[in-house]
Structure 1
Amino acid sequence: MKRALCIGASGGIGQALVTELRQRGFEVDGLSRKADGLDITDPVSVEAMLSKLSGPYDVVFVATGVLASNGARPEKALSAITEEQMAEVFAVNAIGPALILGRLGRLLRKDGAPRIGVLSARVGSIGDNRIGGWHSYRASKAAVNQIVRGAAVEFARTHKGSVCVALHPGTVETPFTANYAGRHKTMPASEAASALVDVLLALSPEQSGGFFDYAGKEVPW
């Protein structure tokens, strides 16, 4: 039986990914702050939680993220940036996934072309930024895209045929987006999860290190 791991399994998209993968016949392990006490910003917590897992995993999703810190709203202007809020958003959205990816190697299947999908966001695209704002969130997602790119290079050396990519899930109907969807088209978490699994499983090793949306289209850096 193929095995999968979902980091952030208690979130709206994370729960849907766990359900979708199980429906496809995967044996799924999940980790989250809510259920397991995982703090992805703390190297000690990450090491402790991942050391309890044995693997090997065929598929891994890192479905963690925060829009702003401590109930704050995303900044509309550069003048609204605070050091504390930006640091907290970067800690969750960029440093956390980096810590996970850095300790993931031993858990990945070596002989089965493992696939790793890290949830990013289209607003992390520098080339696609036309309206500004949301500075901490945008910058943190641009940072995690670079981390994914570097991770893909390393995994290609140690896990032949591996695929490691950043994924934009679209605007998903979760508490995370409830106050910010605006006029953007939203989709149920179950639909987003199905699309993300489809995309990750369909990508080739040549596409590893890329940034793709839920429809499988490449997103500009």
Structure 2
Amino acid sequence: MPNNITIFGANGTLGSEFTRALSSHYPEATIHAFSRRPEDSAAQNVTTHQLDYLDEAALKYAATEVSANAPVDLVIVATGILHTDDIMPEKSLRDLSADKFMQIYQANTIVPALIAKYFVPVLNKKQLSVFAALSARVGSISDNHLGGWYSYRASKAALNMIIRNVAIEARRTNKQAIICALHPGTVDSPLSEPFQKNVPEGKLFTAEYSACQLLQVIGSLKTEDSGKVFAWDGNEVLP
């Protein structure tokens, strides 16, 4: 049972649902909820924090603070973007832009990597502990049959490689750590809203359902699963 939990992107659609569900399931746990624009939580076991994810000094301080009294049992990174007011997924090469590429990579690849840099070392070494970052099935190279979405696909494929690298390194010093990425499915959220008309019937999930499914996946993980990507249904997403 996780006693010390940290969630990044806690103010987002899935991040807030992870926070709510974990607070309810583990009322005795200490939960640290980080976001760029935090909101106060009514739950007594949730402490909210404001954080610039690209500020390494702040990340280092945060890792020190949350692990001061106990190692961290569970880290969930629920950050990332697919589109903004100025960015939409590319349909073809002519839509590529260096600035857009850098914004997508920064949010989807660099931020989770920096969080891992400071929070994987403070994971519990005496019992199973998990570092999980939200990825996407479209980051699978072998499963790409439609093309398009260049920067988003590439950023998630890169994130999956980061997860694999971190898992290999962490295994040397923490045999109890599980480093993984998770595909939540298509969640009814501002992120997916422009693309929902193409989602097959029954495949547009509520945040509550997706978060619940992913927490079940996390709870079923074993150390040999470290470095892998798993979908909401528990199936492994191939590279």
Q: TM-score, normalised by structure 2?
A: 0.87
2:57 to 22, 33, 44: 44
1:162 Cα deviation from its structure 2 partner: 1.6
For residue 85 of structure 1, what is the aligned residue in structure 2?
100
For residue 124 of structure 1, what is the aligned residue in structure 2?
139
For residue 146 of structure 1, what is the aligned residue in structure 2?
161
Return the alpha-carbon distance in structure 1 between the equivalents of residues 62 and 215 of structure 2. 24
For residue 115 of structure 2, what is the aligned residue in structure 1?
100
1:135 to 126, 133, 150: 150
Return the alpha-carbon distance in structure 1 between the equivalents of residues 176 and 125 of structure 2. 9
For residue 14 of structure 2, what is the aligned residue in structure 1?
13
Return the alpha-carbon distance in structure 2 between the equivalents of residues 28 and 72 of structure 1. 33
CA RMSD of aligned residues (A): 1.5
Moved more, 179-188 or 84-93: 179-188
1:70 Cα deviation from its structure 2 partner: 4.8
Return the alpha-carbon distance in structure 1 between the equivalents of residues 121 and 163 of structure 2. 17
Q: Between Structure 1 and Structure 2, how many residues are aligned?
A: 221
Return the alpha-carbon distance in structure 2 between the equivalents of residues 194 and 150 of structure 1. 27
Return the alpha-carbon distance in structure 1 between the equivalents of residues 121 and 137 of structure 2. 30
For residue 169 of structure 1, what is the aligned residue in structure 2?
184
The residue type paired with residue 49 of structure 1 is A
Return the alpha-carbon distance in structure 1 between the equivalents of residues 62 and 211 of structure 2. 24
For residue 34 of structure 2, what is the aligned residue in structure 1?
31
Q: What's the secondary structure of 1:64's corresponding residue?
A: coil
Return the alpha-carbon distance in structure 2 between the equivalents of residues 220 and 105 of structure 1. 23
Return the alpha-carbon distance in structure 2 between the equivalents of residues 204 and 179 of structure 1. 36
For residue 212 of structure 1, what is the aligned residue in structure 2?
230
Return the alpha-carbon distance in structure 2 between the equivalents of residues 182 and 56 of structure 1. 44
1:5 Cα deviation from its structure 2 partner: 0.8
Return the alpha-carbon distance in structure 2 between the equivalents of residues 39 and 92 of structure 1. 11
What percent identity do the matched residue pairs reach?
37
1:111 aligns with 2:111: no
Q: What's the secondary structure of 1:30's corresponding residue?
A: strand
Q: What whole-Å deviation, never above 9, does each CA across 1:33-92 have from its counterpart, x for those lacking one?
A: 111442223323433433432242211101100113553211111111100010111011
Higher Cα radius of gyration: 2
Return the alpha-carbon distance in structure 1 between the equivalents of residues 54 and 140 of structure 2. 23
Return the alpha-carbon distance in structure 1 between the equivalents of residues 53 and 197 of structure 2. 29
The residue type paired with residue 227 of structure 2 is G
Q: What's the secondary structure of 2:11's corresponding residue?
A: coil
Distance 1:164 1:75, change over 3 A: same
Unaligned runs of 5+ in 1: none
User: Does the CA-based 8 Å contact 1:115-1:201 persist in structure 2?
Assistant: no
Moved more, 190-199 or 35-44: 35-44
